Amino acid sequence: MLNLQKKNTLDTAGIVNKAFNKAVKKTGAAMDNETAKWQKEIAISAMLTAGEIAKNMSDHNGDGQIEDEDLKRAAQKAGVAWDSIDPDLKTALMSGGVAGVSVNMIPLVGRLIAIPTVVGTTAYFFLVAKLNGLKNK
């Protein structure tokens, strides 16, 4: 099981590629290969940050919800300046964080798949936002 976690958390590019394909289908975005490559590179970088934040994600203020304040604290623990994070990534982290914390509640397996779940869900919402932004230009 530990190998499964290592494989899933280290395969950020694979997770982003899957999320990218789903996001393209969802948004109907059309782009050349260079733009697609650039979007994937941005997403991989963002998901590396998301993965570090996900390792520290929990209900830090004890109010029973994952919200901006909890994400700020998780980012701080990961050594990431909250104000430097892309606004689309902040929004996507909220969705990914909720999914990851929910999965984390499953006994035994939850911890093993929580971080890949956060990264995958965050990647999808991040890419949807970015691809919708391309369509609006």
129 burial class (0-12, 13-18, 19+ CB within 10 angstroms)? middle
Give the pLDDT confidence score for residue 63 in this predicted structure: 75
Cα–Cα distance list, 66 to 18, 20, 94, 132 (Å): 25, 25, 7, 26
Global pTM value: 0.76
Mean per-residue pLDDT pooled into runs of 10, the chain (137 residues) = 47 90 93 94 91 77 76 88 90 73 52 71 90 77
Q: Which two tokens stand for residue 60?
A: 């830090």
Q: Which two tokens stand for residue 73?
A: 């604290």
**66: phi then psi, degrees, rounded to nearest 5:** -100, 120
